[in-house]
Amino acid sequence: MCQNHSELQCKKLNINDGRCRIPRTNLIWHRFEQLQVHSEANQIKEYGLLAEYRKCLELASQITPIDQNELKRNRFDALIHTIKELDRIVNELQNSTQPATLYFLWSQTANMQAKRLFLRMEGSPKLNTAEMQYALATFYAKRDPSKTIQLLNNALTMSNKNNLKLEILNTLASLNQELGHKEQAYMWAMVAKQFDVPIASKDKLERMFTLTPQSKYEQLADLAKRVAKSLKKGAYSPEQVNTYLEAIITPVIINQ
């Protein structure tokens, strides 16, 4: 593949070095895919792959090889190439107006103009995707916890098992705990557990939340299982979940 496609720039990637083989191979294959489908999304993906390769090269450069001179020089040249390529991608994307690209420029390169343009899109259909609702939530996370929860719920309604960001589940648990919503926080911790996200032990969680009556823990765990199933099916409904939560938090007492 490298021999037939010089535009992949394999020679500049130090392909004969045993170090960093996996990130280098991933980068080359992605560059080949870009020959067929060139897009801003693929450029952003290439940026991430280049960053991984650069990190590996920086670690490899600290290892003293037996054949020091040539191998060290080749690794250094490959490192310089990745740095230049990272800069190239950022420069090529500077004038983009696509929300995902603006978020990338803001979050990865601290581009304040991109940040302003992205935030101006709030409330528009351009941000009505799971990825962009999550991106918007990252801005409000330390500014407005309640709004962040709303945006993360929006992201979940647009998610399914293929694009679900598991970090949303822990974030919802943390934000609800911060706001004193103990039942919601415990439920989201249990939802995270359904997706094998590491959480505290059952005993530690119960000491942390001190819910009463004790039966709430089982009710919330059951609800968490239902929420997890709905997320996997792409059928999550925050309104329905809130209805169930309300029934658990303030159960109806029937007078005999």
If you average pLDDT over residues 204-226, what whole number do you get?
A: 94
Q: What is the structure's pLDDT at 97? A: 97
Q: What is the structure's pLDDT at 253? A: 52
Query: What token pair was written down for 230?
Result: 């709905």
Residue 69 has pLDDT above 90, yes or no: no
Using alpha carbons, select from 221, 156, 151, 146 the residue that is nearest to residue 183: 221
Q: What is the structure's pLDDT at 173? A: 97
- Residues 177 and 236: their CA atoms lie apart, in Å, by 21
**Given pLDDT bands bounded at 50, 70 and 90, which one contains residue 73?**
confident
CB of 114 closer than 8 Å to CB of 106: yes
If you average pLDDT over residues 157-172, what whole number do you get?
A: 96
Q: Is 93 exposed, middle or buried (0-12, 13-18, 19+ CB in 10 A)?
A: buried
The reply to whether omega before 213 is within 30° of 0 (cis) is yes
CB of 176 closer than 8 Å to CB of 188: yes
Residue 252 has pLDDT above 70, yes or no: no
CB of 145 closer than 8 Å to CB of 179: yes
- Residues 157 and 13: their CA atoms lie apart, in Å, by 42
Using alpha carbons, select from 139, 137, 242 the residue that is nearest to residue 188: 242
**Given pLDDT bands bounded at 50, 70 and 90, which one contains residue 191?**
very high
Q: What is the structure's pLDDT at 3? A: 85
Residue 256 has pLDDT above 80, yes or no: no
If you average pLDDT over residues 57-75, what whole number do you get?
A: 79
**Given pLDDT bands bounded at 50, 70 and 90, which one contains residue 1?**
confident
- Residues 228 and 241: their CA atoms lie apart, in Å, by 11
pLDDT digits (tens, 9 = 90+) for 103-137: 999 999 999 999 999 999 999 999 999 999 999 99
Q: What is the structure's pLDDT at 65? A: 60
Q: Is 178 exposed, middle or buried (0-12, 13-18, 19+ CB in 10 A)?
A: exposed
Distance in Å from the first CA to the final CA of the chain: 79
Query: How much of the chain exceeds pLDDT 70, in percent?
Result: 96
User: How far apart, in Å, are the Cα atoms of 228 and each of 29, 159, 225?
Assistant: 34, 12, 5
**Given pLDDT bands bounded at 50, 70 and 90, which one contains residue 64?**
low
Q: What is the structure's pLDDT at 115? A: 98
Mean pLDDT of the chain: 93
Q: What is the structure's pLDDT at 66? A: 59
